[in-house]
A and B are shown apart, each in its own frame.
Chain A
Amino acid sequence: MLSTHLPALQVVLPLASAPVCLLLRHPRHAWACALTISWLVLAIAVMLVQQVAATGTISYAIGAWATPWGIEYRIDMAGALMILVVATIGAVVLPFAGRSIQQEIRKKHSGLFYTCFLLCLAGLLGIVVTGDAFNLFVFLEISSLSSYVLISLGCTRRALTAAFQYLVMGTIGATFILIGVGLLYMLTGTLNMVDISQRLTEVADTRTIRVAFAFVTVGVSIKLALFPLHLWLPNAYTFAPSVVSAFFAATATKVGIYVLLRLFFTVFGIGFSFVAMHVGEIMMLLAAAAMMVASLVAIFQNNVKRMLAYSSVAQIGYIILGISLASRDGVAAGMIHLFNHALIKCALFLSLGCIFLRLGSVELQDMRGLAKRMPWTMAAFVAGGLSLIGLPLTSGFISKWYLVGAALTDGYWPLAVLILLSSLLALIYIWRVVETAYFQVPGAGMPLVKEAPASMLIPAWLLIGANFYIGVDASLVSGIAHQAAGILIEQGVR
């Protein structure tokens, strides 16, 4: 009986626990509450993935109202992959958060931190599982609003300006999405995504629908930090608390990409998005620019968190590149990289969190000779870095392999060259950290720091382990991604 309600529980559980968390006075209790919920959320996600794999797309009518009159929760393989990413990352970073938040956030704020974290988790999951365009906007608002708060809780005052910058950009993005959804409703009279797509064929060739498409695309592109709309991201990731950077780098932008997939393929269809509106060419150009420019900028950063933030912009470029091909292989490659990059970037930001716990800084010059003091942390960073570059036996290699393959199949050999070039740039910025931490002597005034506690190392190493596992045997991830891409393409071709 319970198993039929899993789609609703996936979102309602974290959403309803957030107010409970606010009422718990003691920081440890709030943490324990959030931790338990995040593990339950992961368990539900795993069960849902199994259900989708066994029975195909799941539909859940909230309030038992049939579509399009009520709101539908709809999970297909693509959605299942996304909830798995979000739930896994949530469950992995919360054990880490215990120590990290204790140090980085004032005690009286920790309850609020976990409240907002759960709200953000619920918001992101809600965006993924919903089949309703307006409901998507509502949950986007929940996740955005809580992310502004989470970022603003960073320990320097610059976190406030970073959060404000993100708030302004994010609000513009959300407004654009709302305008687009409004226009769609005006011409179709429905908000259910599948229903919109069916009724869209008659009215697709109108200026109103073209404008609606433009507005939602730009709005979502701001949320997912597509170059050149990424300007909010570097500051937000740099000044947010370590856990928050790790969580967002792995989930927030990825969910944005998922929304883009839903729009291009499920709602508007390939014929409209890629043939009539030429979004493929535009996205390909922006993705290529992101891969090169953001990687170049990353090389010149001295704050390692900021370096990784720029690297994220570049990696989002890879994912978008795959999607822009609009082929089954391309979309699958994009989704594989989406999954792999979520694990890698989360692990990298977690290891920076360990460094920040001990050093109180993530500036490159403070990390000289750190590998001797914190061998496990630095080893995790190096392992993640190797995967970011894309060395064989890492998950990064797998995603780049599929990406290059998809680009070559469609005859885009310059893209394959760009992917390799951008990987070389990644090698340079990762090497800068490795060189500083392993081969430089610590300065005279450097504090004698200890290795990070196990509660923080284990989450990071779990992700690194998963990364190597995928590097050796990618059949599971690749299978799910190809199946998901197949469904999306099938929905897109009409």
Chain B
Amino acid sequence: MENLINDVLLGLLMITGFAIVRMKSLLGVTMLTSIYSLLSASLFVVLDAVDVALTEAAIGAGIATVLMVATVALTTDEEKVPRHTPLLPLLVVMATGAALIYGTLDMPHHGDPLAPAHRYVADSYLHDSPVEIGVPNVVTSVLASYRGYDTLGEVTVIFTAAAGVLALLGYRTRGRNIEAAGIRKQVVLRVIAKLFFPLILLFALYVQFHGDYGPGGGFQAGVIFATGFILYALAFGLGTAQRLIPSQLLRILAAAGVLIYAAVGLESMLLGGKFLEYRVLADDPIAGQHLGILLIELGVGITVASVMLIIYYGFVSRRH
């Protein structure tokens, strides 16, 4: 049964992929990529990677689509006809594809319990993390503690993206209520948006603080949090949203998230541990791990949410 679901999902993924290549309307392509992400998210659920699925759904299907629609609105819906024949790119892509298929020939079989990826490091994570970290969600233990330094790097990548958007687009600090005019008449939309807004924020907080126990964590929560504000901005205008969260505040928050994360690392250093060694943060090592994970996830959530909004403000405030 599981294989059948996998096959159907993979088949749909392929069809969507071909449709993306063939389609000329960029808005259509954006919608299709959103569907592609949703399908991948479903695939991850089948593979029992629920944390990844949640991330993919929130980022790939959710906010990335919004940002791409904003880009299409800024530029054009029409795909430009390339000036050169795409023969060389086609060859490169085919060679890459052939190499990838060749590489699969000696791979361990799907779901093989004896595969190295399941036997070695991952196995010890599953066994030792309840004792060493004590967080029920092992994914969170790996991402936030065992490999917490990677996560600091990822947050920095997100922060760099914000710096890039600020440098290239910037934004007007007092955006006019540009898109509100059309949507103002849509009473149902506005009422629904207003109803959903607090629920989305509440859900974001749940995902943020429940990451230790179930799928979730700072990345997903940050994105969901930002989505709530984007929905608000769509329904009531950018200017209203900016009065709620000013651009300057976002800049400070984006920086603050990274700083919180780094500060936890430096604090554990000052308390006599290694960088990001959370167990020294409290008397009890397990309590220290909990505290450390809570704080760094908070930093992640703050930076991700504010960076997403910075990017959204940057794109939308340029609309004529």
Contacts and interface: CB of A to CB of B under 8 A. Distances in A.
B106 A206 contact: yes
A19 B255 contact: yes
Contacts of A134: 147, 150
Contacts of B146: 63, 65, 69-70
A6 B277 CA distance: 15
Contacts of B116: 186-189, 199, 203
B120 A207 contact: no
A69 B125 contact: yes
B175 interface: no
> Chain A: interface residue count, which band?
35 or more
Contact of B251 (A22, A126, A179, A199): A22
Nearest to A188: B116
B206 to A, nearest CB: 27
Interface string A1-37: 0000100100010011011101100000000000000
Contact of A152 (B106, B156, B168, B252): B168
Nearest to A8: B275
Q: Is the interface of A mostly helix, strand, loop or mixed?
A: helix
Contacts of B121: 68-69, 189-191
A156 to B, nearest CB: 14
Contacts of A214: 99
Nearest to B104: A208
Contacts of A289: none
A185 B259 CA distance: 31
B145 interface: yes
Contacts of B163: 18, 22, 112, 115-116, 119, 146, 149
A119 B255 CA distance: 13
Contacts of A61: 274
A309 interface: no
A113 B163 CA distance: 9
Interface in B249-286: 251-252, 254-256, 258-259, 262-263, 265-266, 269, 273-279
A211 interface: yes
Q: Is the interface of B mostly helix, strand, loop or mixed?
A: helix
B159 A189 contact: no
Contact of A119 (B117, B128, B156, B256): B156
Interface string B109-123: 000000111111110
A375 B87 CA distance: 51
Nearest to B147: A71
Interface stretch (A91-99, A135-143, A445-453): A135-143
A349 interface: no
B187 interface: no
Interface string A120-133: 00100010000000
B147 A190 contact: no
A145 B162 CA distance: 10
Contacts of A153: 167
A62 B149 contact: yes
Interface string B194-234: 00000000000000000000000000000000000000000
B24 to A, nearest CB: 21
Contacts of A54: none
A258 interface: no
Contacts of A109: 167
Nearest to B142: A69
Interface string A190-214: 1100000001000100111111101
Given A63-B274, A187-B116, A146 B106 contact: no
Interface in B98-140: 99-100, 102-108, 115-122, 124-125, 128
A119 B262 CA distance: 14
Nearest to B292: A63
A5 B275 contact: yes
B159 A148 contact: no
A189 B100 CA distance: 19
Contact of A116 (B105, B107, B157, B167): B167
B118, B121, B275: residue with the most chain A Cβ atoms closer than 10 Å = B275
A464 B133 CA distance: 53
Given A63-B146, A183-B103, A112 B125 contact: no
A19 B160 contact: no
A215 interface: yes
Interface residues of B, number: 59
Contact of A70 (B147, B157, B255, B266): B147
Contacts of A69: 121, 124-125, 128, 146
A20 B153 contact: no
B167 A152 contact: yes
Interface string A437-451: 000000000000000
B294 interface: no
A190 B102 contact: no
A20 B269 contact: no
Interface string B150-182: 101110110111011011101000000000000
A248 interface: no
Contacts of A71: 147, 149-150
B255 A20 contact: yes
B153 A139 contact: yes
A479 B155 CA distance: 39
Contact of A189 (B105, B122, B256, B263): B122
Contacts of B120: 68, 188-190, 199
A239 interface: no
A207 B102 contact: yes
B157 A112 contact: no
A341 to B, nearest CB: 28
A19 B167 contact: no
Nearest to B123: A189
A414 B262 CA distance: 53
Contacts of B160: 116, 119, 142, 145-146, 149
A169 to B, nearest CB: 12
Interface in A47-87: 60-65, 68-71
A189 B149 contact: no
B164 A135 contact: no
B148 interface: yes
B121, B147, B153: residue with the most chain A Cβ atoms closer than 10 Å = B153
A211 B274 contact: no
A185 B117 contact: yes
Contacts of A12: 262, 265-266, 275
B260 to A, nearest CB: 10
A209 B104 CA distance: 10
A19 B258 contact: yes
A115 B251 CA distance: 12
Nearest to B148: A63
Interface of B: 99-100, 102-108, 115-122, 124-125, 128, 145-150, 152-154, 156-157, 159-161, 163-164, 166-168, 170, 251-252, 254-256, 258-259, 262-263, 265-266, 269, 273-279
Given A19-B254, A135-B149, A208-B106, 8 more contacts: A16-B262, A22-B255, A23-B252, A65-B145, A65-B146, A69-B124, A138-B150, A152-B168
9 contacts: A18-B156, A19-B255, A20-B255, A69-B121, A70-B147, A142-B156, A145-B157, A208-B107, A209-B106
Closest 10 CB pairs of A and B: A211-B103, A19-B255, A189-B120, A189-B116, A138-B153, A206-B106, A16-B262, A8-B275, A149-B164, A64-B277
